[in-house]
Structure formats: C-alpha cells, structure tokens
Structure 1
Amino acid sequence: MNKVTKRRRRTDYARYFEDVFKCPVCGEDMKVTDSCQLVCNRNHSFDFAKQGYVNLLPKHVKTKYTKDLFEARKSLMTEESFFKPVTDKIAGIIGKYGFGEKVNLLDMGCGEGSHLTAVRKAVKEASGAEIMGAGVDLAKEGILEAAKQEDDLLWAVSDLANTPFKAGKFDVLLNILSPSNYEEFKRLMKNGGLVIKVVPGENYLKELRYALFEEKHKHSYSNTDTIDRFTEHFTVVERWPVSYTVNLTNRAVSWLVKMTPLAWEACEDRIKAFLKHEEISMTVDTEIIVGRKKE
C-alpha cells in the first residue's frame, strides 16, 4: 500500500471518530476535512501525515523513547508473540462486559501499537464486536511505527494528560505498562466504561534483572504503590494475574534489551554478556486490573 493511500484511508477512518475530537489548543469541536486535516471551529488545523497518523500536540515534545526501541518492541511482540496471553486476556475481559457490536477503545500510551492491534483482532475473533480503536502516545517515534500497520486504527501523537478528545466518549481505556493520568482517564470514560491497566508483577523479566543488576533490590519489582494509587481513583471490579515464560532466541534477546528501559540503568559489560545468550527462557509476570469510575 502506498503512503498516499494510507493517509487517505486513515483520514476516512477518523470520520467514524469525528464526534469525539476536541481541539488541543482551544477545546472547540473538530471536523475531518477532505484535505486530510482535523480543523476546529476556530480554524486550528492538524494534518494527517503521509504515513497515516495525526500529530495533535500543540508543540513538539522530545522523549527518551527512540525509533530503535519501538522497532525492537514491535518485532518482539509480533514475531515472538511476547504479550499474546496478556492481550488475549484483555480481549476476553472486554468481550464479557457486553458493550455491544461497536466498542470505542482508547489505548493510552500505545507505543508502537502492537497491543491495541492484537486486542482488536482478538475481540473481533472471539465475539464479532467491532473495535473502533484509537492509540495515543507522547512519543512521535512510537506513533510513526504504529502507523505502519495495515489495520484501520486511529494513531495520534498526544499529551496523555490533555488528550484531544471530548469527555465521556470511550467504553474502554487501555493502559499497558505505561504512565497514567487518572483524572484524564475518568474524564474520557463513558459512564459504565472500563479502564484496563496492566502492571508488572514481582517477577516481570526477572532473568533480565538478575543479569543486568548486581544490586538485589533491583532483582524484583513491587507494584503495590501503583495498585494502591489505582484503587484511590477507581472501583476495582477484577484483578487477573497473568504469568508465563517465553523462550527467546538470540535475535529476540537483542530485541528485548533494546526495548526495555531497564537497559538504560545497566552497565555496558553486563548488557554485552546478556546479549551472548543463544536462547533464554524469560518470565512475563503481569497483573491486569479492571476498574470503573467510583460512584
């Protein structure tokens, strides 16, 4: 598919979402135009890029997340099915709450888009429901990678604390191993909607932690503070531990190291030693927390 066609397709797909947009500059309603733009009532305009995404940041923000990181994460998720048990479980949760034939879903901190794409596919296969999906991230490099996918999904560069969407428009918010802004989450959710947050468990990537760090306190992870903060803002309706191991080849080991911020803190010698593994069994230990707005 050529890039011009992708721009047009994604613009046309955004028309399904037209009533959810608000201008990130002034807060006015927005329309999708035939010239592949989002334009508000006060004429603030944002172009759909030729790659098939829209940048809705009023000003550029640089993050630490690089193109190489997102390419590696996408490879690990798609070619090694690294997170498939997690995304399958999320799809099952969405399916059982009976949102109907069309579910408005927003992935907050979507990165390179592999999780949203996988969840949408799994929901469609399991229940036949159509996911009207949007993924937003502050990192333009992640959204550029997400936009390469062929699925018709809306990808936008956006500030997660001030998203360009009206209040109460989404059935489900996803937040997978990503920072949160819970006040914004509550604003965006429909009454009766869900927020599905995935947090690392104690043993998440424990083999990598042991290899990269000598300090024992870095060998495990506590999600207690994260869960406590979540429960301050939402009524928890379900909690699901999802833990399994994945056998990684040397190529996949290199993807893992490139994609994880854990490597930012490790010394170069330990990283090089870990990359020599021809294969390794890696623990994926997560917890899925499902919440609703507090009444």
Structure 2
Amino acid sequence: MSERSTCTCATALLCLLLIGGTSAAAASTPLPHDAQQGQLIAATTAPGSIVHLGEREVRVGADGHFVFGIERDAPPELTITIRRTNGKTEQHRIAVVQRDYRIERVDGLPQHTVTPDPELAKRIAEEQARVAAARKRDDDRNDYLSGFVRPAQGRISGVYGSQRIDNGVPKSPHYGLDIAVPTGTPVKAPANGVVSFVATNLVLTGGTVLIDHGRGLTSSFLHLSRVDVNVGDRVKQGEVFAAAGATGRASGPHVHWGFNWFDVRLDPALLPGR
C-alpha cells in the first residue's frame, strides 16, 4: 500500500511541493486523496517509474518529480497508475471536487473580436495555434517548486472557469485570473522560468507573453501594453517583464494570468504561494 499525503485539498499542492522538493529519491509517491477541478498536482516517485493519468502518460523527471493538472470539467474521480522499475504497478485514485462556475457578462468589448469576419477568424485560429505550439514545450526543469506569487496586486475582476457572455454572445469559459489594475502597472513573473512566446498584437489577447516553468507548466499573460522580454530570456520570480494594458479583446486594463499543464488549463488561484 502506497503512502499518501495527509494534506487537505486547499493546501495539498504546497504540501506536495515541499515533500517533493526534499524527497526526490524516495520510492513513495505522495498524492492527495482529493483535489479540485483546475488544480495542479505535484509529487515524486522513484526515478525511472512510468506514470499515467488515465490513458495519458505523465513525464517523470530524472529526479523522480512529476506534475499533472486536473481540467475544468474533470469527472468525479481520476486514476493515477505508477509502474516502477521493478515491474510493480500501483494505482492511486483521486476524488475530484466538482466546482460551480459562475456566469460572467462582459460588455464594451471590440465587437470585431467577438464576432470576427471569416478573414479575421482565420487569423485568430493561426495565432492561437502558435500559442498552443509554445505550450507543448517539455523541459526537465523544476522552476515551479519555489511556489508562486501574484503577478500584480489589485481587485480580482475575473475568475477561472466562469462562463463568459461577451457583448451578449455566449463564448468559451474564462481560463484565468483577471486582476484589475491601471494601464502601465508592472507585471511580475510569478515563478522562475523561461520566456517561450512573445507577441504584441494578437487579435484576441493583444500583448501576450508565455513563461515556461518546466514539465509543461506555463503562465500566460494577456492584454499587455508593453513587453520587456524576448523568447529564450530567463526570468526570476518577482522580476518585472511587462506592463498591464487593455490590448486585444478587453473591456478595460487588467492583468490576465492563465496557467497550463500543456493543453490543460488550470486555475492560478489554486497555485501554492510563497
């Protein structure tokens, strides 16, 4: 029988990061009994083990660290399968806390970004494909282990998972945390990382920066008025790399902080802080 973390759901990730950061060589794999939709899970196992989340293989680092994310609409239970180098296989079941997502109505957006014509829609699809490609990066780095800080301080004007009604038109859920701040407010890196994508004029997201924290984890920052970094730059936690704005499809100046495990969109509000 495998060891389990005794952390509560609200503090599970921080506890796992602390455990994982000091026990990379341990054979046990601390995993929570439960977690929320949109939550990041981090743990360790014996180096060389093979880990699957359902049918999806999860990369295990040379130090035994691994991470995965629970998507917005994940079912009530997930199964993690771990096959160790000695051939032994273990299964861990995580009960997924189902969340109620609010409906958010946003008016005053540029209408051409809400109902684009065919030519603009094609451009939007191409731009989003470029962003998706950047999120496939899979570095064997542990920058996420130091925890995260808010990229800016201000009123929370938008939350993860909410169903968006933009200018009266139902759109995709909102995948991020919006922090209302004046244009020009410094935006800080929430954790160490490498800049993996930069653009200044995307149709939907305007000034856009992605910071890769290792193992498929990326922070995305949208609607920026200024970008001070280039692809490949190394940034440190707390370092200013851009300025807030209202570029792209935005009704006012704010910092949009999104967080992904590859293509799985997670809730920045659930990330462990320092």
Q: TM-score range by the shorter chain?
A: under 0.3
| Larger fraction in strand | 2
- TM-score (norm: length of structure 2): 0.25
Instruction: Please report the TM-score for the alignment, with normalisation by the length of structure 1.
Output: 0.24
Task: Point out the structure with the larger helix share.
Answer: 1
